[in-house]
Structure 1
Amino acid sequence: MSQAEKLRVGVVGGGYIGTTVGGQFNTDPRSTVTALADVNQETRRTAGDALYVGDGSQYEDYREMYDSEPLDAVLVGTPHTLHYEMVTAALDRDLHVFCDKPLTTDLEEARELAERDEESEQVLMVGYQRHLNPAFQTARERWQGDAGESDADAAGGESNPDPDFLSAEITQNWISRFEDTWRTDPDLSGGGNLYDTGSHLVDAVLWTTGLVPEEVSAEMVFADDEGRVDERAILTVEFKSGAQGTISVHSDAPCVREHIHVWDEEGAVYLEGRQWEKRKLERVDEDSTTVIPYIDRSQQRSKAEAFIDCIETGETPPATARDALAVTALTEAAYESARSGERVSVDVE
C-alpha cells in the first residue's frame, strides 16, 4: 500500500493515549499519523517526535488541524470533558473518529452522539479495550452468544442463561498517582476515578453481561471539599432483568487488582487480573468445579487495527457510542445518588 493510500490520521492530544494509540496507527501498514494538535507546546514537541509529525503539521488548535490538513480520521485522546466538542467537530467534517473513553461526561451529549452515530456513515469507535480482550469476549458469549447469533442458536437451540447477580471491583493507587493532574480536576475529568479507570469496569460489566441498568444507589468518599472527585465509589445496581450487582472503585490502594464475578443458574464466570496484565477467565460450575477455558489471544486486535477494519469493512465498532451512552448514564446516576443519598433511575434510552 502506498503512502497516498494510507488512512491519514490526525491526533488530538499528545499525552498517553495520543502517543500509544497513535503509535498503533503508525505501526499498521494501512494508516499513518500525519498531524497533531495539543494546547501545550512541549507536549506537541515530544508527541511529534514520538509520532514522526513535523513542526509544520503540529497545531495548538485542533480546529485548525481539522481544516488545514487532508485527514481521513482523528484520534481524540484529550481530557474527558473535551471529547464532545472535538468529536462533534470531526463528524461535522465527515471524519472517522476514534475517541478515548468515556465518550462524554454529560448524558444528553452522550445521547446526541449515539443517535448521530447511528445515522452517520462515519465510524465512531470508543476506546473501551475490554471489547477487544479475548477473555471478556469469551465471557460475553455465555450470556449473549456469538455476534450475529440468537441466544437459542448460540446455545444449540437453548436460550443462554441470564445473570442473577454480580460483583465487580477495581483497586488502584489512583489518588496519589494522579494528584495535581487533569484526572483529578473535575472540570477536565468530569469527576473522579469512577469516570477514569472505573469507567472501564462499568463498561466491562454492562457489555460482557448485556445487562441494562435500571436504578442505582451509590456511596462515595470524595477527595475534594466540593464532592466532585470520588476516591472511593460503591454502586448497588438494579438491572431491568431483575439481576443485582455491586460495582466498587477504590483509589487509595497500593496496586491494581480487578475482579468481576458474574453468577447465573449454571454457576459463575470469574474475570481476574493484576496491574494491566492480561485478564484471566475461570468458570465455576454448579457443582463448584473450577474450569479454566482455553483463551486464544493470538488474533487479538489493537484499537487502531479494529478501527481501520471497521472503516474498510463496514463492521460495527467493538465499542460503540451506544455502549458508551450506557456507561455515562449509569455513572451520572451514581454521582447523583451519592450526593443526594437517594436511589436514582438510570436512563439509557
Structure 2
Amino acid sequence: MARHRVVALGGNRSHLESYAREFAADPRCELVAVADESDVPQYREGLNRLLAAELDVPYLTLSEALALPGVDVVVSCVDIERRSRVARAVLARGTHLYLDKPLAGSVEDARAIADAADAAGVVTQMLTTVHAPWAQEAKAAVRSGRLGRIGAVHSDMLMAKGRPGTVPAATVRREHGSDGTFTHVAAKRELFDMGVYPVALIHWLTGRRVTSVYGVTGNYFFAEHAALGIEDFGALLLTLDDGTVATACCGRIGMPCHPQVGERRVTLVGEEGLATFTGSDPHIEIYNTEPVITTAPVHPNDPMQMWSSTARETQPPAKDRRVSLQREERSDIAAFLDCLDSGERPEVTARDALHHVEVLMAGYESAASGQAVSI
C-alpha cells in the first residue's frame, strides 16, 4: 500500500511532465490529482488538464486538491511568478513539498517560501544535480581530502537543445537586470534556468556561502532569446566566505553543439591536485556513415526543445554517436522520498535554495552594472 498520497501542481510544457510520472511510478506513492490555482490563464489550464488526462487522475483547483484526505506530499511546478504564493498555501497545510528549480523569481519570494517551510516543520527539497553519480563522486573527492584544500571550483551547465546561429547579425544585448518576468513560451532566461544548477552544486560541494558575485549575460545563439530581450548564456565569478573562488558557465548552446544533452561537469582545484567530474563519462564514441545531426524539427510552441510533450509531436532525431556507460543513479525524487521515510534532512532544502536565488539575482544586478555585487 502506498505510504504517500501526492498532488502534482502544474501541467504539460513544464518539468511536471517528468516529475509527476516519477512520483506516480514509485511504489511508495499514489498520485491522486493534478491541480493549480483556480484563475490560471486558459492556455495553462488546458496544458494542466492534458497532463491530468494522460496520467488518468482528476484535475482540481489547488484548494480542492489540498482538501483531499490523506494528501501529505505536493510536487509544485507552477510558473515562476506564482511559486511563492502557491508554496505558502501548500506549506500552510503542513504538507511536504518537492519544488521545481529555481525556487522563486525574487529573493523576497524565495525567503517567504523558506520561512514558511521552517514554520511548518515539513520536508522540502528542490531539484538539483547533486544526486547524479558524477556530482556524488565530486563530493566524495572533497570529503576524502585527496585533493587537499579546495581553492577553486568551476562548473558548467550547457544545454544542447534548440537551433543555434539564428541571432541577427550585430546583436548586442545590454543587461537591465531582472524585472521579475521569467515565464515565456519560446525561451527561458538561461542564467536563471540553467545557472541554478552550478550555483547549487558549488554551494553543496563546498558547504560555503557566496559573498560576492560578478556576472555577465548575453545573446549569442538564439533569435528567440534576442526577440524577447533575455539572455541565452551567462557566466558568474563567485567569491565564497572562506576565500574560495568559483566560476560557473550556464546557458543553452544548441542541439548540434554537443553529442548528448549538453555539458554537465565540475572541476575541483585543490592544493594537492585537480579533478574533473562530468555527466558524459565514462562513455564510448560511435562513428559510422550516418550524417551528423545538425538540425531538428522545430515545434512552434517550443523552439528551444524544452519539453518532452512537444518532442513527442516533432520526433527529433536521436543522438547516438556518444553512449554513456551506465552508472547506478539515485534520482532526486527518490532521494526526497527516502528522506521522508528516514527523517534525514534533504541535501537541498528550500532554505538552501534561497541562497541560490540570492546569487542569481546578484548575478543579474552585476551584469547590469558591470560591478561585483556583495551578498
**TM superposition score category, shorter chain reference:** 0.7 to 0.9
| 8 Å CA contact retained: 1:12, 1:77 | yes
What are the equivalent positions in structure 2 for 1:208-223 lying under 5 Å apart?
Answer: 208-222=205-219, 223=225
* TM-superposed deviation, 1:80: 2.2
| 8 Å CA contact retained: 2:92, 2:120 | no
Greater relative contact order structure (CA < 8 Å, 6+ sep) = 2
Equivalent of residue 52 in structure 1, options 53, 56, 64: 56
| 8 Å CA contact retained: 1:83, 1:99 | no
Percent sequence identity over aligned pairs: 26
The alignment status of 1:305 with 2:304, answered yes or no, reads: no
* TM-superposed deviation, 1:96: 1.0
Show the counterpart of 1:137. Answer: 136
CA-based RMSD of the aligned residues comes to 3.1
Show the counterpart of 2:159. Answer: 172
Partners of 1:35 and 1:250 in 2: CA distance: 33
Show the counterpart of 1:345. Answer: 374
Query: Which stretches in structure 2 are left out of the alignment for 5+ residues?
Result: 167-178, 220-224, 284-324
1:109-138 Cα deviation digits (max 9, x unpaired): 32333344344331111111x221132122
* TM-superposed deviation, 1:7: 1.0
Show the counterpart of 2:104. Answer: 104
The alignment status of 1:270 with 2:264, answered yes or no, reads: no
Please tell me the residue identity of whatever aligns with 2:109: E
| 8 Å CA contact retained: 1:8, 1:73 | yes
CA 1:186–1:69 in structure 2 vs 1: closer, same or farther (change >3 Å)?
A: farther
| 8 Å CA contact retained: 1:74, 1:96 | yes
Equivalent of residue 19 in structure 2, options 17, 21, 25: 21
* TM-superposed deviation, 1:164: 1.1
Equivalent of residue 189 in structure 2, options 179, 188, 192: 192
Partners of 2:346 and 2:332 in 1: CA distance: 10
1:225-252 Cα deviation digits (max 9, x unpaired): 886x222212111222212222112434
Query: Which stretches in structure 1 are left out of the alignment for 5+ residues?
Result: 146-153, 180-184, 282-294
Partners of 1:326 and 1:280 in 2: CA distance: 32
SS at structure 2 position matched to 1:132 = coil
TM-score by length of 1: 0.76
| 8 Å CA contact retained: 1:214, 1:238 | yes
The alignment status of 1:243 with 2:244, answered yes or no, reads: yes
TM-score by length of 2: 0.71
1:195-230 Cα deviation digits (max 9, x unpaired): 112211221222123232111111211545886x22
CA 1:43–1:345 in structure 2 vs 1: closer, same or farther (change >3 Å)?
A: same
SS at structure 2 position matched to 1:326 = helix
